[in-house]
């Protein structure tokens, strides 16, 4: 006689085991070498930094890589894309490298706060602006690097 309850529990247990241990985690996968265009771009923008590693991010249509660097003992993480170049930089800072105005504001808000880590983040947003005249009307069209129209401004 088949015990359906035992089969159901065994199936659930197997599913949980496969979900938890089955899929390879990103850190468990062997690192693939970065494409030459990524290495070249990183070397151009960060000539004194050593590449620690990197991986592809985003969907298949987007060629975006996150690259980990080390410079003067500090960690830097940067995102690069094939069509724009460097689009984001996260740079670890020593406390003495944080601007005075930033530290003053921080200390006012958190007078007893113990700083664990400081980082400077730079997001680079690239857009394209095209001025056009159509049917006698002037417009400025703003587009993303992927071709999405972000804004149409009247210039009449």
130 and 141 fall within a common domain: yes
Position 2 in a domain: no
Domain identity same for 66 and 121? yes
Task: Please report which helix (H) or strand (E) contains residue 17, including its range.
Answer: helix 4-21
The string of pLDDT tens digits covering residues 12-36 is 655 544 444 444 444 444 557 899 9
Beta bridge partners of 122: 89
Q: Are residues 33 and 82 in the same domain?
A: yes
Query: Same domain for 39 and 94?
Result: yes
User: Does any domain span residue 58?
Assistant: yes
Same domain for 79 and 143, yes or no, is: no
Expressed as residue numbers, the domain containing 103 is 29-125
Residues 115 and 150 occupy one common structural domain: no
Give the count of domains, the chain: 2
**pTM, whole model, 2 decimals?**
0.67
Q: Measured between alpha carbons, how far is 83 from 35 in angstroms, rounded to an integer?
A: 14
- Is residue 7, in this structure, part of any structural domain at all? no
Measuring CA to CA, which residue among 113, 115, 110, 155 is closest to residue 137?
A: 155
Strand order in the sheet with 118-123: 50-57, 64-71, 74-81, 85-93, 118-123
Per-residue pLDDT tens digits for 87-117: 999 999 998 999 999 999 999 999 998 889 9
The DSSP bridge pattern shows strands 137-143 and 74-81 to be unpaired
Do 115 and 101 meet the contact criterion of CB atoms below 8 Å apart? no
Round the average pLDDT of the chain to a whole number and report it: 82
């Amino acid at each position: 006689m088949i015990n359906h309850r035992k089969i159901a529990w065994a199936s659930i247990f197997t599913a949980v085991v496969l979900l938890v241990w089955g899929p390879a985690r990103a850190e468990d996968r062997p690192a693939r070498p970065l494409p030459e265009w990524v290495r070249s771009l990183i070397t151009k923008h960060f000539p004194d930094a050593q590449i620690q590693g990197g991986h592809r991010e985003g969907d298949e249509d987007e060629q975006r890589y996150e690259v980990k660097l080390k410079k003067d003992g500090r960690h830097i993480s940067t995102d690069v894309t094939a069509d724009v170049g460097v689009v984001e930089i996260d740079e670890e800072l020593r406390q003495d490298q944080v601007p005075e105005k930033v530290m003053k504001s921080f200390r006012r808000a958190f007078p007893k706060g113990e700083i664990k880590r400081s980082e400077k983040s730079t997001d680079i947003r690239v857009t394209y602006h095209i001025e056009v005249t159509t049917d006698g009307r002037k417009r400025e069209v703003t587009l993303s690097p992927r071709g999405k129209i972000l804004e149409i401004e009247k210039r009449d």
